[in-house]
Structure 1
Amino acid sequence: MSSVAAVGAFTDEQLELRKTVRALLTKHAAPDAVRAAADSADGYDAALWEMLCQQVGVAALAIPEEFGGIGASAVETHLVLEELGRTLAPTPMLGSVVLGAQAILASGNTEACERLLPDIAEGATIAALCWTGSDGSWDTATAPVTATAAGDGHSLTGASHFVLDGSYSDVLIVAAELDGEVALFEVDPAQESVSRRRLPTMDPTRTLAVVEFAGATGRLLTAAGSAALERVREIACVALSAEQVGTADQALANTVEYSKSRVQFGRPIGSFQALKHRMADLYFLVETARSASYAAVVSLVDDAPSRASDAGVAKVYCSEALQSVTADSIQLQGGIAITWEHDAQLFFKRAHGSAQLFGQPRAYLHWMESAAGLPA
């Protein structure tokens, strides 16, 4: 599959991929199914994930063919995440395929790639990246876990927080400080020295965990962990923006549909000029967020010099746009939208939870101001 030549100019294969994923999710990820999956023991629908992997191959898209994948570009993964964002379907796509698999690839460890990636591409193995500490800082220069040499391997001590899919993953990729530098390790979560617990979260459709290490044995993947995490963070921000665009687009579509059916003073409320203006503003937010997200993935695929800043722009703009769209969606749909039974609150929670992933938007703004030489 080729990458998108220009923002929005998708190939026939890419459009068919989007159509296929949307059809599958429409059938198997209805709101009731999403709620049931979120309330399950692991917090996701294993049957849906198997269908996405076996029938569509979503987990294999961005994994090179030499390691058992399809070898597509980040654009194809982008389209899948956008569709997943529409339904809020909880899957290991972001945690395992984007973070876990890309961290393994970024490590440059060929042996680990050959051993781990084929099963991740099949969907048979779920990987989780243990990165940040309790402060929620997705820094690449420090890590909350410490590694020390122990015989032929390394012993890991500490705790990683906010680990996507960490409570049920089959393999852990752990960022740990080794001799004052950040390194990446592979850790088997079945060890007695590894404990995991799922966190209660504001967004019930996103599974996060705390993973604690009490002298766990780790296999060194790379001593250049900071550089690997820098690359992973760029990929993660771009991927998250795709999901956020899909969520915002669906939240707006739900609001527009409601405005056509809700009648006040003998006419649909969507016909009122004030509401038309507000929904037009929301449409502008969604489409400009989509442009930022698509520009970022093109920059990533082309390995453009601006890829880091483009990823940062997508992270900031899409996070803020989604929060605005979902907040206004609740207001425009009135009292019913604040009830637990209504889906608007799930979109609102996803918006605010996603904004915190991989660093708060203000952190990226400070970084871009500093890079541009602007005063803090």
Structure 2
Amino acid sequence: MDFGLSDDQLILQRSARDLLAKECPPAVVRRIAEGPSGHSEALDRRMAEMGWTGLLVPPASGGLGLGMLDMAILLAEHGRAAVPGPFLFSALLATRAIVRGADRRLKKQWLPKLASGECTATIALLEESGDSAHPAVLRSRARRKGAAYVLSGRKLFVPYAHCVDLLITACRTSGSDGPDGVTLFLVDRRASGLSIRPLETVDRTRRVCEVEMRRVEVPADQLLGRLGGGWPVIEHLLDLAAVGVAADGFGGAERVLEMAVEYAKTRQQFGRLIGSFQAIKHIAAEMVAEIEPARSLVWFAAYAHDALPREARRASSMAKAALSEIYSRCANRAVQIHGGIGFTWEHDVHFWFKRAKWNELAFGAPAFHRERVAALGGF
């Protein structure tokens, strides 16, 4: 592997950083975070115009046909800007679910719409147990009724279920606790019997919902993949989510370091700039020492999905475990450098601090991913 980015990837990185600095500065993040929907349709359209929504969609379906490393580069820039909205869940997770699991007919139906931004989607996996990585906790059910399936159950912390068009939903069609019998369905957000309630969480740059399914009828032709064969797709999505959140965390950690250093260069206390104090220099140096080695962890995990599939799961968990904690620690140190103002709603740093806390718990906490790495290594 070449650990440097290619010229095309550097162009992608720079163009994304420039666009988000212009279209999604902290003032826009604040406006969206304080609004009811938690996303901006204008920003979503702009990202679609840039081709980002079709980054992982094959060219035959209207996309760019790029790889996971390219997506990780883009998601790092999203984390740097604390971009609100369903992009990660739609352009990465839902898109890859359809690319990997759908038949030719469903791909033809949905991929061009996802690539163009005409349609957005999310994944609905998590239930009351809080563990989406084990099939035994799945309690939502689907039963056949003529030319449809009837879905019943409750999903928690479904990202942006209130505003996307499509929910990729996991239900059990047979069995009780094993991976066999888990099936994925493409559910229209406006389907009869589907009720969606936004949930309040600490991170205002990400919105999640409770989704209640009361006898929701889904046409049988909207079954994603093989009946009872959805679990391998779910495992793949959880690996991708780990990389996506790790990339977001890497970009966020870089940004809070920059914010802390910028503040330390301008804030005066005791008659001198606080950046001149050795204690502040130590904190900033510790942040740099943690962030820089994390870059290769994230890039390699993404690259493994493109070129080294046998390494992908282990690399994904390593990146997620490390970046979850690195981002949280760096965000905490950035708040400390800012002092009292860093704890206020009026200062922007808290958006990154709270996003770091969301990242730490989403799609598996660090302890879960460390145990997973150990198990994959035979320990």
For Structure 1 versus Structure 2, the TM-score category normalised by the shorter chain is over 0.9
The Cα shift of 1:266 comes to: 2.9
Deviations 1:140-197 (A, max 9, x none): 5242421111112211000111111211111111111111221111111212211112
User: AA paired with 1:50?
Assistant: R
Partner of 1:313: 318
The answer as to 2:228 corresponding to 1:212 is no
The answer as to 2:66 corresponding to 1:61 is no
Distance 1:199 1:359 in 2: 19
Contact 1:144 1:160 in 2 (8 A): no
User: AA paired with 2:311?
Assistant: S
Alignment match of 1:163 (pick from 158, 163, 173): 158
Where 1:306 maps in the other structure, the secondary structure is helix
Aligned ranges for residues 52-201 of structure 1 at < 5 Å?
A: 52-54=47-49, 56-142=50-136, 143-180=138-175, 181-201=181-201
The Cα shift of 1:306 comes to: 1.5
Contact 1:140 1:230 in 2 (8 A): no
User: AA paired with 1:36?
Assistant: R
Equivalent residue pairs, number: 368
Distance 1:134 1:325 in 2: 31
User: Gaps spanning 5+ residues in structure 2: where?
Assistant: 176-180
Contact 2:133 2:238 in 1 (8 A): no
Aligned ranges for residues 1-376 of structure 1 at < 5 Å?
A: 5-7=1-3, 9-54=4-49, 56-142=50-136, 143-180=138-175, 181-218=181-218, 219-222=222-225, 223=227, 224-374=229-379
Distance 1:359 1:138 in 2: 8
Deviations 1:238-276 (A, max 9, x none): 111111100010001000011111122332211222221
Distance 1:43 1:274 in 2: 38
Distance 1:210 1:314 in 2: 28
Distance 2:186 2:234 in 1: 14
User: AA paired with 1:356?
Assistant: L
User: AA paired with 2:360?
Assistant: A
Contact 1:238 1:314 in 2 (8 A): yes
Distance 2:212 2:100 in 1: 24
TM-score normalised by the chain length of structure 2? 0.94
Distance 2:369 2:79 in 1: 22
Contact 2:314 2:376 in 1 (8 A): no
Contact 1:61 1:77 in 2 (8 A): yes
User: Gaps spanning 5+ residues in structure 1: where?
Assistant: none
Where 1:305 maps in the other structure, the secondary structure is helix
Distance 2:326 2:25 in 1: 24
Where 1:201 maps in the other structure, the secondary structure is coil
Deviates more, 1:132-141 or 1:316-325: 132-141
Contact 1:104 1:173 in 2 (8 A): no
Deviations 1:15-73 (A, max 9, x none): 1111111111111111121111122232101101101111x110111111122211011
Contact 1:136 1:359 in 2 (8 A): no
User: AA paired with 2:204?
Assistant: P
Report the identity percentage. Answer: 32
Deviations 1:256-308 (A, max 9, x none): 01111112233221122222122111111111222211111111111342110
Deviations 1:91-116 (A, max 9, x none): 22111111211111221422111101
The Cα RMSD (Å) is 1.4
Distance 2:308 2:300 in 1: 12
Where 1:135 maps in the other structure, the secondary structure is coil
Distance 1:97 1:202 in 2: 24
User: AA paired with 1:220?
Assistant: L
Deviates more, 1:85-94 or 1:364-373: 364-373
Contact 2:182 2:230 in 1 (8 A): yes
User: AA paired with 2:211?
Assistant: V
The Cα shift of 1:209 comes to: 1.0
Contact 1:140 1:182 in 2 (8 A): no
Contact 1:140 1:229 in 2 (8 A): no
User: AA paired with 1:135?
Assistant: S
Distance 1:78 1:373 in 2: 28
Distance 2:283 2:186 in 1: 49
C-alpha distance 75-372 of structure 1, shift in aligned 2 (>3 A):
closer
